[in-house]
Structure 1
Amino acid sequence: MHRQILDKIKHYSKIVIHRHVRPDPDAYGSSIGLHMLLKHNYPEKEIYVTGKHDLTLDYLAKPMVVPDSAFENALIIVTDTANTERIDDERYKKGEFLIKIDHHPNEDPYGDIVYVDTQASSASEIIYSLFKTGEQQEDWTLPDQAARLLYAGIVGDTGRFMFTSTSLKTMSYAGELMGYDFDRTKLFNEMYEVSPNVLKLKGYVYENFEMKNGIGHVKLSKRLLEEYGVSQSEASLLVSALADVQGMRAWVFFIEDSESIRVRLRSKGPVINGIAKKFNGGGHPLASGATIYEWNEVEDVLNEMYHL
């Protein structure tokens, strides 16, 4: 599979890289990290990375402004995106050939080449494995800033190596990436330091979460977020806050934005991605996301959770 992907990369003079909407560090790490890797090794090619920028990820990098002409006869690579509905920038449809690179369950096997490794901790881990093949077969080298992004993606999707998705291979790759020239302490601070407003909202979460039969939940309305001066994406950073509660088996955050209510599910053991799929979402067995549109749907989600 690596060889097939390498051959396509070598063949195309134009490449556009996509990732999912509402990005996280792994989305940026895998897509922008891949962009930096390819541009470093193929400076003569037109290589772009697209997607709406999230200001909370300023410390990592920023996507490019990509013209429509970039998609004509282009190779499209989509990273860290389980289904087509979540691909950021619908112009991916205008490309000539599509490669999917992902670590989520392959319930939507879109693309001409589908490379899905559900055993990988992150899409960034997969991109690093692709680099290692390119290093051996094509004399690729990895620039320091690409290594920084891939490392951030792995750290983000493993919860600082605490999640069960962290494997021996994950730790080996992370160790190799640590050998590149970037400031890990600064990166960790940028990833995990939060504003005073977010910290105050975290206090609200601890004061107001509810738990029944080991299932926890908290509701964060748009009005509440405005009161605390916190964006929906910033509030999402708090989803792991209930992980340390004794007796908690699984939990869900309901976070309202202007158009919908984001459902962020997490678990210490029970499989939850089946529930996410019932509510316009999906994801990993222990970490998934979904969407509802009315507050009265909260009980429907919780009723499913209580049967875990």
Structure 2
Amino acid sequence: MNYIHKLLDEVEKAGTIIIHRHERPDPDALGSQLGLKEILTQAYPDKTVYAVGETEPSLSFLGEMDDILDDVYDGALVIVCDTANTDRISDKRYKNGATLIKIDHHPNEEPYGDIVWVDTNASSTSEMIVMLLDAAKERGLDLNSEAALLLYAGIVGDTGRFRYNNTTPQTMQLTSRLIEAGFDQNQFYSQLHKRDLKITRLEGYVLQHFEIVDGMVGVMKLTKEVMEQFDVTSSESSQLVNCFSDVEGLRTWVFFVEDDEKIRVRLRSRGPVINTIAQEHQGGGHPMAAGASAYSWEETDEVIQKLVLACKNEKSV
């Protein structure tokens, strides 16, 4: 809790607070960023709080980003949520503030910032923001329904709707606090699972064309041509990363998505540790969910073979 109180001391001193998160945001990145913004705005009406970064259209129902000028960073407190590495921070002006704070639940591969609060036992950075609330009751921080919905979205996203093994008793206890704050869960899930027709059509393509290697590793390669055929962006395709995950026998699965300059690698696992493989290919993440980059289709084949080996090593233990 010492990190939390140091963080809150900086918040109370700051007149301007700018909150960042990682590029290509998922629900936890946006939920923790916008949830924290809502909490601080409510608690400190005399302060100016911004949330910055690129827009993710599929998650626009969670909120919008602020467009701010460079000079706003002068003397500002900058907080980065849910981002293990500085390379992945959306909006590189994060370095221009007076003080930098990192709040994250990924392995602390790069401990950047003046204050680093990392908790790898938390299911999500959104869960950590609820923990922050619990530790700061005496400072006047409270939870309204809007912040509750945002943090709920983040926890739901990173726990796979409470199905992944990072869902702990603490996760459920803190989530109950969010539900008590009151928001429309049905409306939230309706928005979260809403898909464009083009994504649904691409899902059909993926289900027809994914491969299984050695009976344990699911593989899907989406080329630029396929993405153009379905008029889907690399970011939008991330909605489908788990669409064949329930196939019997799969221990790991991977999506390769060809982008402008590289091939994005999305790794998932039901047992074998995969973030070490991601780290070998300019990436990182959680033991069971990670991302990386490849620069040729030959390199993607290397990733597949490493996944096969990880599955075989798991069986031999």
Partner Cα distance (2:213, 2:242) in 1: 18
| Range 193-202 or range 285-294, more displaced | 193-202
Paired-residue identity, %: 47
Partner Cα distance (1:227, 1:180) in 2: 44
Partner Cα distance (1:142, 1:177) in 2: 8
- The superposition leaves residues 275-295 of structure 1 with CA deviations (integer Å, 9 ceiling, x where unpaired) of 001111000000000011222
Runs of at least 4 residues of structure 1 off by over 4 A? none
Question: Shift of residue 220 of structure 1?
Answer: 0.8
Match of 2:267 among 265, 268, 271: 265
Matching residue of 1:89:
91
Q: 5 Å matches for 1:103-122?
A: 103-122=105-124
Question: Shift of residue 66 of structure 1?
Answer: 1.5
Partner Cα distance (2:16, 2:61) in 1: 27
Matching residue of 1:221:
223
- 2:143 paired with 1:142: yes
Is there any run of 5+ residues in structure 1 with no aligned partner, and where?
A: none
Aligned residues: 307
RMSD: 1.0
Matching residue of 1:173:
174
Partner Cα distance (1:298, 1:138) in 2: 50
Question: Shift of residue 133 of structure 1?
Answer: 1.5
Task: Give yes or no for contact 1:50–1:89 (8 Å, CA) kept in 2.
Answer: yes
Matching residue of 1:209:
210
Task: Give yes or no for contact 1:103–1:120 (8 Å, CA) kept in 2.
Answer: yes
Counterpart of 1:279 in structure 2: which amino acid?
H
- 2:278 paired with 1:283: no
Match of 1:17 among 16, 19, 32: 19
| Range 296-305 or range 57-66, more displaced | 296-305
Task: Give yes or no for contact 1:49–1:66 (8 Å, CA) kept in 2.
Answer: no
Matching residue of 1:193:
194
Partner Cα distance (1:293, 1:42) in 2: 46
Question: Shift of residue 149 of structure 1?
Answer: 0.4
Partner Cα distance (1:58, 1:78) in 2: 20
Question: Shift of residue 168 of structure 1?
Answer: 0.6
Counterpart of 1:182 in structure 2: which amino acid?
F
| Range 161-170 or range 290-299, more displaced | 290-299
Question: Shift of residue 246 of structure 1?
Answer: 0.3
Question: Shift of residue 179 of structure 1?
Answer: 1.5
- The superposition leaves residues 112-136 of structure 1 with CA deviations (integer Å, 9 ceiling, x where unpaired) of 111000010000000111012122x
Partner Cα distance (1:225, 1:231) in 2: 7
Matching residue of 2:276:
274
Q: TM-score, normalised by structure 2?
A: 0.95
Q: TM-score, normalised by structure 1?
A: 0.97
Question: Shift of residue 49 of structure 1?
Answer: 1.0
Partner Cα distance (1:233, 1:83) in 2: 19
| Range 297-306 or range 244-253, more displaced | 297-306
Partner Cα distance (2:68, 2:34) in 1: 13
Task: Give yes or no for contact 1:216–1:251 (8 Å, CA) kept in 2.
Answer: yes
Matching residue of 1:60:
62
Partner Cα distance (1:165, 1:242) in 2: 21
Counterpart of 1:211 in structure 2: which amino acid?
I
Question: Shift of residue 153 of structure 1?
Answer: 0.4
Partner Cα distance (2:59, 2:194) in 1: 12
Matching residue of 2:49:
47
- The superposition leaves residues 174-202 of structure 1 with CA deviations (integer Å, 9 ceiling, x where unpaired) of 11111223211011111112222211211
SS at match of 1:178: helix
Counterpart of 2:91 in structure 1: which amino acid?
D
Question: Shift of residue 4 of structure 1?
Answer: 0.9
Task: Give yes or no for contact 1:15–1:46 (8 Å, CA) kept in 2.
Answer: yes
Question: Shift of residue 53 of structure 1?
Answer: 0.7
Matching residue of 1:7:
9
SS at match of 1:165: coil
Partner Cα distance (1:125, 1:138) in 2: 19
Partner Cα distance (1:256, 1:96) in 2: 38
- The superposition leaves residues 197-235 of structure 1 with CA deviations (integer Å, 9 ceiling, x where unpaired) of 211211111111111220110101121011112221221
Partner Cα distance (2:75, 2:115) in 1: 16
Question: Shift of residue 143 of structure 1?
Answer: 2.2
